[in-house]
Amino acid sequence: MTLPYSSSAQTSPNHIVKVVMDSNDVTMEDDTKQLISAETKVKERDIISTLHESVLGHILSFVPIIDAVSTSVLSTSWIDVWTSTTNLKFDDSLLYSKKKMSKEHFVNSVEKVLLHFTNSGIQSVSLCLSSYQYDASQISEWISFFLERRVQKLHIQYADKVFLSSNSLFRCNSLVELTLQMRCTLSLPVSGCLANLQKLSISWIKLVSESESSTNSKDITLSFPILKVFEVRGCEWSQNITLQVPLLERFSIAIWKHHSNESSKYYIKVNSRRLTDFDYEGNLEQNIVLCDSSSIRNASVVIVVDEDKKDRIEKLGFQAYNHLKQINEAESLKLLFYKVLRHGKDIFTNLPVFGRLTYLQLNEVNGEALLQLLHNCPILNTLVLLNGVADLNKDVLTSASATLPRCFLSSFKVFEFKGFNANEHDLSLVKFMLENASILEKMRISPAFWLRYADIDFEKVKEQILSLPKRSSFCMVEFSDISSS
Amino acid sequence: MAEEKSQASSSKMLTLKASDGVLFEVELNIAKEMKTVQAYIDDCEDIETIPIPNVLGKHLAIVIEYIKKTNEEYDAEFEKQWNMDDLQLLLLAANYLNISGLQECLCKAIAKRIENKSPEYVRKVFNIENDHSPEEEAKLRKEYKWAFEGVDKD
């Protein structure tokens, strides 16, 4: 086959260049670089069409389908290429000629496309509707169409009312990946199963029970035998839900304020022996039961509480303990608080011991809570503080110096202090660490962004810190640039 | 995939010869990512130099580099570097050598560049000759009227 291109590389065709490329080569050798930068000019020959129709169809499957249809006029060999695509992407916010399609035009185009795929299998569908409000039944019809086509990956994003039939959903057991970001009510059967589902992500959905009885909502069991990832954001539920998910590795749930009241009456039980990653965001009111949390290695708990009611505050410590107890085998933990500082000390009345924890990240914490945490992490290696420490007074420090946390003597090596405020509390903490952590290797201090505008001589603060006594002789104290924070 | 590369139990080297005579000495497990080459090896056990008649040295070098380095970040940067001509030739190479990961990456890259462009533009970019008769083309444009309205007029 004679090739329709020429290469203006330095080497002439008969000159042999031996280029050694073994696995350990991270950088390209000069010879290779020279070769690659040579210009190739394709001399007016249509090479793309020499590829098999399936490859061309594969290219088109990354193009929004309404766009792809227009390739039918490219040449006679391109007439049907777009129909061989098995990935349909619809997005009503795409600009055509700098303008969005009108709603009617979009709906019409979608209908026309679906007509062509009535008798084909569709492998994946992405339906992103963010520009208009559509007729609820229209969208439901489209969704049913996709489910009937035995789709494997389904991604739907639509913020308005739609009715999703759980019947057609659970009948589509070809589903491997399902993402639903829709404000809708999904009525679940008492027991539902999707045998091939590996990833499930639902947002803004209200989960209710199919069974009509208003008095006694029956418990629901959902079975996803090979599910690996489950993400739930901003959803509500109004009955107990048990998830039979034996291979689940990652569970992530975020509950937003105004949904929490109803949901807190019912539990979500996660039945998996393989859970390694757990993420929670909410006000701790919900009952998330992890049947076997012994394999959790990475956890993130984000606590958002902005109520001030007294009875709420009293329960907080107890609820925090229940949530944290489930992840006490974690090796890495992010524990973040929002709006909860006022109640800070009540959260930590009772903490589990994190026997495997080596990495801990905190954002806002008061002195007492911080020290309590350090005591409960006997093999902590790295501590990252995102926003400084509040309320670290002398009394707390004196009692802390009397009984040092165990990790200070045997494992604590890295302290990253981000958002350093250069105030009395933060300085006391730095002093306390340097004085007492016997094997600390590195302390990295990054000033809070606002220090740039403050009247503080940061150089002087640096000097002060560097001159503090250090228990660990090989401890290096570094500072991030004030302008880079 | 990265792990397989770094823990190469076979440090056996193979030579690939590009269409313009450039030779590449690569480790066996890298060459195996090219299913076409794998099939060649399976057929003739003791081969030392494998001819790759359809691929220029330049593109074979890029392909080998891709196999060594591929990961999500690399993919994202990779597709930005090449012009349309190179992308097409690389796709041909990846197709011939049967490397699915690279094919996927290149299909996505090419798709990005023809998205939302008029058929006239796409024809120019790919050097496609329009062999539709005017009547045929008019008929298609009418049938898919809804797909042609509002496309970039460039």
> How many A×B Cβ pairs under 8 Å?
193
pLDDT computed for residue A217 by the predictor? 63
Least-confidence region, from A70-84, A111-125, B68-82, B104-118: B68-82
Chain A residue numbers touching B110 (CB-CB < 8 A): 59
Cα B36 from Cα B51, distance rounded (Å): 11
B119 contacts chain A (CB < 8 A)? yes
CB-based contact A36 B58, cutoff 8 Å: yes
Q: Which two tokens stand for residue A1?
A: 């086959």
Structure confidence at residue A42 as a pLDDT band (50, 70, 90): low
Residue A277 has pLDDT above 70, yes or no: yes
pLDDT computed for residue A201 by the predictor? 97
Render pLDDT for A67-90 as a digit per residue (tens, 0 to 9).
899 999 999 989 989 988 888 999
Task: Please answer whether residues A128 and A168 qualify as being in contact, where contact means their C-beta atoms are separated by less than 8 angstroms.
Answer: no
The count of other CB atoms within 10 Å of the CB of residue B54 is: 18
Task: Please answer whether residues B57 and B18 qualify as being in contact, where contact means their C-beta atoms are separated by less than 8 angstroms.
Answer: yes
pLDDT computed for residue A139 by the predictor? 93
CB-based contact B25 A20, cutoff 8 Å: yes
CB-based contact A21 B30, cutoff 8 Å: yes
Residue B32: helix, strand or coil by DSSP? coil
Residue B10 has pLDDT above 70, yes or no: no
Cα B66 from Cα B11, distance rounded (Å): 19
Residue A30 has pLDDT above 90, yes or no: no
CA distances from A189 to A15, A193, A233, A243, A266 (A): 71, 10, 21, 13, 17
pLDDT computed for residue B2 by the predictor? 45
Who contacts A264 (Cβ-Cβ below 8 Å, separation ≥6)? A285, A286, A287
Residue A9 has pLDDT above 70, yes or no: no
pLDDT computed for residue A241 by the predictor? 94
> Of A98 and A76, which is predicted with more confidence?
A76
Residue A37 has pLDDT above 80, yes or no: no
To which residue do tokens 């996660």 refer? Answer: A270
Residue B147 has pLDDT above 50, yes or no: yes
CB-based contact A72 B107, cutoff 8 Å: no
Q: What is the mean pLDDT of residues A300-323?
A: 80
Q: What is the mean pLDDT of residues B147-151?
A: 68
pLDDT computed for residue A483 by the predictor? 60
| Dihedral sign, Cα of residue B123, residue B129, residue B133, residue B136 | negative
To which residue do tokens 């954002």 refer? Answer: A363
Chain B residue numbers touching A47 (CB-CB < 8 A): 88-89, 92, 126-127
Number of residues written out for chain A? 485
In Å, how far is B23's CA from the nearest CA of chain A? 5
Residue B154 has pLDDT above 50, yes or no: no
Structure confidence at residue B150 as a pLDDT band (50, 70, 90): low
Residue B123: helix, strand or coil by DSSP? helix
The whole-chain average pLDDT of chain A stands at 85
Query: CA nearest A4 in B: which residue?
Result: B89
In Å, how far is B47's CA from the nearest CA of chain A? 17
Q: What is the mean pLDDT of residues A342-348?
A: 62
**Cα A237 from chain centroid?**
22
Q: What is the percent of chain A with per-residue pLDDT over 70, rounded to a whole number?
A: 86
CA distances from A270 to A243, A326, A423, B118 (A): 5, 12, 44, 50
First-to-final CA distance of chain A: 59
Task: Please answer whether residues A428 and A391 qualify as being in contact, where contact means their C-beta atoms are separated by less than 8 angstroms.
Answer: no
Q: Which two tokens stand for residue A324?
A: 């944290």
**Buried b vs exposed e over B10-23: b needs ≥16 C-beta within 10 Å?**
eeeebebbbbbebb
Query: CA nearest A69 in B: which residue?
Result: B147
Query: CA nearest A17 in B: which residue?
Result: B22
Q: What is the mean pLDDT of residues A35-56?
A: 75
CB-based contact B152 A96, cutoff 8 Å: yes
Cα A158 from Cα A160, distance rounded (Å): 6
Binding-face residues of B in 12-41 toward A, CB within 8 A: 13, 19-27, 29-30
Residue A60 has pLDDT above 80, yes or no: yes
Residue A376 has pLDDT above 80, yes or no: yes
pLDDT computed for residue A334 by the predictor? 96
Structure confidence at residue B136 as a pLDDT band (50, 70, 90): very high
CA distances from A204 to A245, A251, B23 (A): 22, 17, 57
Q: What is the percent of chain A with per-residue pLDDT over 90, rounded to a whole number?
A: 49
Per DSSP, helices labelled H in A223-284 are 260-263
Task: Please answer whether residues B13 and B25 qualify as being in contact, where contact means their C-beta atoms are separated by less than 8 angstroms.
Answer: yes
Spatial CA neighbour of A223 closest among A270, A176, A279:
A270
pLDDT computed for residue B138 by the predictor? 93
| A11 → closest Cβ in B19, B22, B147 | B22
Least-confidence region, from A211-215, A254-258, A332-336: A211-215
pLDDT computed for residue A114 by the predictor? 93
pLDDT computed for residue A307 by the predictor? 67
First-to-final CA distance of chain B: 42
Query: CA nearest A35 in B: which residue?
Result: B58
Element (H, E) at A158: strand A153-164
CB-based contact B111 A28, cutoff 8 Å: no
To which residue do tokens 């059967």 refer? Answer: A189
Binding-face residues of B in 62-91 toward A, CB within 8 A: 62, 64-65, 68, 85-86, 88-89, 91
> Of A145 and A482, which is predicted with more confidence?
A145
Q: Which two tokens stand for residue A59?
A: 């290219």
pLDDT computed for residue A20 by the predictor? 66
Render pLDDT for B22-76 as a digit per residue (tens, 0 to 9).
999 998 888 889 999 988 888 887 777 899 998 999 999 999 999 988 877 888 8
Residue A297 has pLDDT above 70, yes or no: yes
Element (H, E) at A444: strand A442-447
pLDDT computed for residue A213 by the predictor? 57
CB-based contact A109 B146, cutoff 8 Å: yes
pLDDT computed for residue A84 by the predictor? 84
Q: Which two tokens stand for residue A165?
A: 């039939």
CA A418, A339, A415: angle at the middle one, nearest 5? 20
Structure confidence at residue A172 as a pLDDT band (50, 70, 90): very high
Cα A239 from Cα A259, distance rounded (Å): 14
CB-based contact B21 A15, cutoff 8 Å: yes
Q: Is the ipTM of this complex over 0.95?
A: no
pLDDT computed for residue A454 by the predictor? 83
**Cα A279 from chain centroid?**
9
